[in-house]
Structure 1
Amino acid sequence: MLGVEMTLDFQKIRENVYQRHQPYQNLIPATVSYQTQGYILLIGPEDSARLASALLSNQYKVTILATEAITNQDQAHLQQAMDVSQHCQVYYGKLNSVKGFLGQFQVSVNQQQQDIELARVAIRQPHFDLIIDLSRQPILQQDLLPAGYFYVGAQQSTLQQVVQDLPDFIGDFEKPRYAKINPQLCAHSNNDLIGCQRCLEVCPAEAISSVDFRIEIDPYLCHGSGSCASVCPTSAIEYDLPPPMPLQTYIQNVVADYIQHTKIKPVLLFHAQQHQSATLTKQLPSHILPIAVEEIGVVGAEHCLAAIAWGAARVLIVNSEAEMVSVTEALQRQVNLVNELLLNLSLNNCIEVIDSNALCNDNNIANLAAYVYQDEVINALAIADFGADNKRQLFFAALDHINHQTLQLERVIEVKHSSFGTITVDNDCTLCMACVSACPTSALVAGNDTPSLSIVEQNCVQCGLCQQSCPEKVINLQGQINLQHQQRRQAQLLQQEPAFHCISCGKPFATESMVKRMLTMLSEHDAFKGQSQRLKMCGDCRVRDMVKDVIDDPNKQLR
């Protein structure tokens, strides 16, 4: 019924839907605090830094670190630079590093072959509050720079704007702690091996790091872009504004309510908070439902797929050209994955990323009326009523529903560079089970009575820890999504072989291939030379045989 004419009645219905369903707000979010007192460090060419210091009022305590050659050799220019900066301390040296954030910048400098913490020497403080970087190239290179760091270069207009904004950065501040991490769910490492690094790859602020084989998020550096939570395959990282479950419930309720009162499948439009939903609701065509999120990077494949299953005809995601490249690329990968899956199910172009210019004026907003999806397949799709405890369950529940309602395919779809898939095992596998102990999601399962290795494909996040831990190097990752939902949820056999029985007591203790490998590698070792039959014994019998050998001939161990 998407072809019916939109009227003012539909606008009113949409307004009523939003009145009945309020988005979840974390009214008391966890926060982090900043404190600054006006200690400013100017870094760059000495003459540029000296002249810049003249623009700063006496309320600031200014230090200059000259790291580059002067920009102008004119004597009058140099004299002016010296005259206006008499109140500043100037230091020279090679810059080693700049670390930190607003109120906590630590600057290491090499002076006369000695590394020093400049703040402790220059201002008798452990850190600087603010940094103005006048260098030819930025000292800090991350996409999202830490609060309190300003790159100016040689741009006078930028410098003047920074000087004008500086008073806003003096005092006490708080900001939300955007993301939280559950180390128990994280697939980054196990047994001192490195696996999943997806969050490290997408963070534009370099706020995420691996410390002692554990993922840590620096809440002071975090800008809340949300892409880390979006790409995390295990829900170890969760975005907290809002938490994922309330957001999913809100999406489901809004779509269901709209369909109940209009009999029309709406188009969902995810947008960042800077576009006010109340304003958009009045401006947008009445079949488009805006869904505000703190940052657009929060939107993941599970949201898009679930929205279609819950009754949305299409999903639009508003992205800005100013968005960080890493965030945009991560978002586009999520969208491409969902569209590839839906295309296999005869649903075309259901998810689309559109530019934020589409919301910048009334004419562009009116053009969104063209986003009406009249595909018979999606109109006939029954509306799902499922929930889920985590993003992975939500993703597969939505996919299985859509598949059941469309083509009911029972095949495997290859998906590269994703967190879905299985593994293959070469015939040289000895079933040592190192991979099982390394798997952080319990996707790999060891056999009980018979030596075997199986995988529960739905649990595999393609972290690679099994591959890293395999001593025989016989494991290969295989990115795919299995549409046979029963098979995907059950343990599928990868490798199996008969057990080797102890030649002394008859107890099974290893696989035949494992014993064969031990004989090849250890039979000439000093501990087993002439006694290779012990390698065919279980651990208990091997010890008993060694003890008996000593009792029978006590001097043998001394010869």
Structure 2
Amino acid sequence: MAPRLLLCDCEKTQTLDAKAIERATGLACSRVHTSLCATERGEAAQLIASGEVIVACGQEHAFFEALAEAVGAPDPLCVDIRDRAGWSKDRASKAPKIAALLAIARLAPPPEKTFDVVSEGLCLILGESAVALPTAARLADALSVTCVLSDAPEPPTATRRAFDTHRGRIRSASGALGAFSVTFDGFEEGRPGGREPGFAPPTDGAESECDIILDLRGGPPLFPAYEKREGYLRADPGDPNAVARAVFDAAQMVGTFEKPLHIAFTESLCAHSRAGQTGCTRCLDLCPTGAIAPDGDSVRIDPLICAGCGACAAVCPSGAAAHDNPPAAHVFALTRIAAAAYRDAGGDAPRLLVHDSAHGREMISLAARCGRGLPADVVPLEVEALAGFGHAEMLVALANGFTTIDMLLGPKADRQAIEPQIELAAALANGAGVGAGRIRMLDPVDPDALSDALYVTAPPALKPTPILPLDARRAATRLAAKALAGEDTPAPYDLPGGAPYGAVLLNQDACTLCLSCASLCPTAALTDNPDKPQLRFQEDACLQCGLCATICPENAITLAPRMNLADAAFSQIVLHEEEPYPCIECGALFGVRSTVERIVEKLEGKHSMFTNSDNTRLIRMCDDCRVKAQYHGESAPLFGGDRPHVRTTQDYLDERKS
């Protein structure tokens, strides 16, 4: 049985057409209430107790959940249609957008994968004594505190030793909440004995392990993107409010915490390196927290440090790093059902506004409360990781029928990761024939600027194509681009540098068919032919990782980032082939004729080992014949000369006669 939709015009500040919303959503709607969270709370309790309901109010979700608990009913689904649709100066019908918002809210995300992080309250405080020591005294009752000072403290006046005090210079720091490790140079261990406690002689390389770091030094942070490093608290020592806030936060970091597993990593798909040669470094170059490090031919992602920005998943060409909170398939489904619900409700050309849960949500609420709000055709989609909404998600949204994609950035957005994805998605869409201007990056300074950027004439509507991409972002990109192109498949078109799609261009005059590129290609986009000297290439499988160009001894390979939507991209083509060389002993074909002849020309009569000998014949032999020739030759390591004649009785008799 479908849930019932409870409508409220929020003290008559928005106009809701219950019948239009009912037709648009297919849900039975209540009458339009005026104050469900205040004067009509009794009726709200009865409606919640009567069965499954959806409350069309996001601001007071805590109140309605408490009301459901009071009447013994499950928590209702609360959807914000006021800030996102109702409070708008646009006079067009909001019913299609409300239908899309409800469709998004009703699609439950998959269960979140988590692991436990344990913090026992071991707190390391860094800074000068004037600030660090009073702070340590305040935290000593709640945490196990150790101070490492950067200066010489004044003689102590306290009679009780509540924490340890040392001195030292920080060399390095690593880890996250529950697993920090800090190395000090010039470390002087505190000696509490005597009337005036002193310090031991300095040593280098002293290590300290702790659960929490409270950094009051006032200098550069210990970690990149330090605000995303759980357990690391940094405050300006000259700001008492900031120090007090950090003390409060540190006191709460004791116990067992659930940390989401943001990234699912498949090592076998990683194209970072092969045989000591570096290939793809996209995730390493982008990770803001330093959670990714090389690990042999692959990389390693530290789940403790990973902040879930999703940048690595957005740029990973092979799918080795996949965002798992939520997975890409869920985001694809969100855009599909939102566009479908909007059009089924009578809408024509929806636009998608992608934003985060902090800055973006607040900007939309302020624009609705204080300004013009969002246009009726703009459907906001809230995502946990803005950088994780990459070119694949953008292309799929366009293919599903959204006319434009706007990415609403915030002050803490990972622009280094988002901007190239927007550029790549725009190039993919433009090359598919939908025109420029479909994908934008919005960075408004205030809510009014956000409204001004959205109240513009949109490009012509796109005809939605029913596609069902699964979790593979690479395949989803190609599927969406092909759907946008329609029946007229465009010729291969160029993409920005660094794109994970493209071709390999080969200088045939320089290529010697050594096939080192084929042996290292992580996806078998480059392969050999066991029957003849031949180098083959399949464009669809090429990640543009660069391993082939790096390993080629002749520098014969260059990369060409592009998108080829033709079916030929799935077929193998011959980049280069030559005539094989016949073995001079058995006639079997082996090697490349030009290479064998070139080697013989360079060595015969010009090298001491190939002068006045038959060694050049070995070069012209296949592997089997070469082994046989060396085994039976006089230069073989086990060759002992001719076997001596076996002496018989007749030999002795003949010798006696002679």
1:348 equivalent in alignment to 2:348: no
Residue 59 and residue 21 in structure 1: after superposition, are their counterparts in 2 closer, same or farther (change >3 A)?
closer
Q: CA 1:258 to 1:84, structure 2 compared with 1: closer, same or farther past 3 Å?
A: farther
Contact 1:207–1:222 (8 Å) recurs in 2: yes
SS in 1 for 2:553: coil
Amino acid at match of 1:191: A
Deviates further, 137-146 or 455-464 = 137-146
Cα distance change of structure 1 residues 44 and 528 upon mapping to structure 2, 3 Å threshold: farther
Do structure 1's residue 52 and structure 2's residue 141 form an aligned pair?
no
Q: Which of residues 331, 339, 348 in structure 1 aligns to 2:426?
A: 339
- The one of 126, 134, 139 aligned to 1:43: 126
Distance 2:292 2:478 in 1: 28
Q: Taking structure 1 as reference, are residues 550 and 143 closer, same or farther at Cα in structure 2, changes over 3 Å only?
A: same
> In the aligned structure 2, how far is the partner of 1:115 from the partner of 1:519?
60
Q: Which residue pairs with 2:332 in the alignment?
A: 248
Distance between the aligned counterparts of 1:178 and 1:291, measured in 2? 19
For residue 440 of structure 1, what is the aligned residue in structure 2? 522
CA deviation map 1:387-435 (0-9, x unaligned): 3342112212222232346x75324325212222222223221212111
Q: Which range is displaced more, 509-518 or 157-166? A: 509-518
Between the aligned partners of 2:570 and 2:89, the Cα distance in structure 1 is 43
C-alpha separation between the residues in 2 aligned to 1:417 and 1:340? 13
Residue 379 of structure 2, aligned match among 268, 284, 289:
289
Equivalent residue, structure 2, for 1:456: 538
1:486 is the counterpart of 2:486 = no
Change (3 A) 1:414 1:276: closer
TM-score, structure 2 as length reference: 0.73
Q: Is the 8 A contact 1:50 1:81 kept in 2?
A: no
Name which one, 1 or 2, has greater alpha-carbon Rg: 2
**Counterpart residue number, 2:503:** 422
The counterpart of 1:138, out of the listed 209, 220, 224, is 220
1:330-409 paired onto structure 2 within 5 Å? 330-344=417-431, 345=433, 347-355=435-443, 360=447, 363=448, 366-367=451-452, 369-375=454-460, 379=461, 381-389=462-470, 390-404=472-486, 408-409=489-490
1:249-271 residue CA offsets vs partner (Å, 9 max, x unmatched):
22112212322332502001112
Structure 1 match to 2:96: 13
Asked whether the 8 Å contact 2:216–2:236 carries over to 1, the reply is yes
Unaligned stretches of 5+ residues in structure 1 = 71-77, 120-126
Distance 1:141 1:418 in 2: 29
- Give SS of 1:131's match: strand
Residue 296 (structure 1) shift: 0.5
User: 1:347/1:520 Cα in 2 relative to 1: closer, same or farther (>3 Å)?
Assistant: same
Residue pairs, 1:501-512, within 5 angstroms? 501-512=582-593
CA root-mean-square deviation: 3.2
Runs of at least 5 residues in structure 2 that lack an aligned partner in the other structure: 1-87, 188-200, 643-658
Cα gap change, 1:474/1:346 in structure 2, threshold over 3 Å: closer, same or farther? Answer: same
Amino acid in structure 1 at the alignment position of 2:163 = C
Cα 1:417–1:527 change in 2 (3 A) is same
Equivalence map 1:16-415=2 (5 Å) = 16-20=99-103, 22=105, 24-26=107-109, 28-66=111-149, 68-69=150-151, 79=154, 87-110=162-185, 111=187, 115=204, 117-119=206-208, 127-144=209-226, 145-157=228-240, 158-274=242-358, 284-323=374-413, 327-344=414-431, 345=433, 347-355=435-443, 360=447, 363=448, 366-367=451-452, 369-375=454-460, 379=461, 381-389=462-470, 390-404=472-486, 408-415=489-496
Q: Secondary structure at the match of 1:50?
A: helix
* Counterpart Cα distance in 2 of 1:49 and 1:422: 58
Identity %: 26
One-letter amino acid matched to 2:252? D
Q: In the alignment, which residue of structure 2 is the partner of 1:533?
A: 617
- 1:10-58: CA deviations, max 9, x gaps? 3223323443454654453221222223221122334443243234342
Where 1:494 maps in the other structure, the secondary structure is strand
Q: Matched residues in 2 for 1:447 and 1:537: separation?
A: 20
- Give the whole-Å Cα distance in 1 for the aligned partners of 2:254 and 2:180: 14
Contact 2:114 2:261 in 1 (8 A): yes
